Amino acid sequence: MEIRKLAAEALGTAMLLIGVVGSGIMADTLSGGNDGLALLGNAVATGAMLYVIITTLGPISGAHFNPAVTLAFALRGEITPGLAVQYVMVQVTFGILGVWAAHLMFDLPVLQSSTTMHRTGEAQWFSEFLATFGLLFVIFGGLKSRPEAISALVGLYITGAYFFTASTSFANPAVTIARGFTDTFAGIYPGHIAMFIVIQVVAVGIAHLALPRLFSE
């Protein structure tokens, strides 16, 4: 059973990064230099991919695809620490493999390192805090009120958050690490990754303290 769960997390995270990076490459190529249009294409494709992978793989693994989500569920005692560590390992590994698959698909060099330099500073960090806290709010609020709608809620939230957060809502340590391996529209400079992840983990901690009280019986 755990093998099936890990396989679902691996496949889902790889598909998520194929969606994020592949749509970023396509949108950037077709938008004629219009960054707003490129971001729209990137956001819609990512939201659509999230809806699909959460709907199809959720019954197997819970459809985390995100170490921040896995940590949040571990803190709630809904996944064992050992399995949580394994989830995170496959999420990070297959996220990077998803990026490389996107590069192959668009005939780009597989091994890359991002040179995108604007994803740092207090505004970006605060944005990542809000993006990650908001994602957990949507997940746990959705589980409380309409669990059957989680895939749509998360897909819609991330689609919107691409535009209403300054950081374009990474909200996912595995995605953050993987996007350091692509020098395309979706990239993040590797030197800026660590602080993004620190802020994402802080957001998990705050959400763990606040959300159970908000969504209590």
The stretch 63-89 carries a mean pLDDT of 98
pLDDT tens-digit series, residues 131-156: 999 999 999 999 999 999 999 999 99
Buried b (16+ CB within 10 A) or exposed e, 98-136: bbbbbbeeeeeeeebebebeebbeeebbebbbbbbbbbb
State the CATH number of the domain containing residue 160: 1.20.1080.10
Domain residue limits at 182:
2-214
Please give the share of the chain, as a percent, with pLDDT higher than 90.
Answer: 97
Determine the Cα–Cα distance for residues 153 and 210; give it in Å rounded to an integer. 20
Tell me how many domains the chain contains. Answer: 1
What's the confidence (pLDDT) of residue 28? Answer: 97
Copy the structure tokens of residue 52: 């699909």
Which DSSP string do the residues of 63-103 spell out, in sequence order? Answer: ---SHHHHHHHHHTTSS-HHHHHHHHHHHHHHHHHHHHHHH
pLDDT tens-digit series, residues 151-178: 999 999 999 999 999 999 999 999 999 9
> What is the value of pTM for the model shown?
0.97
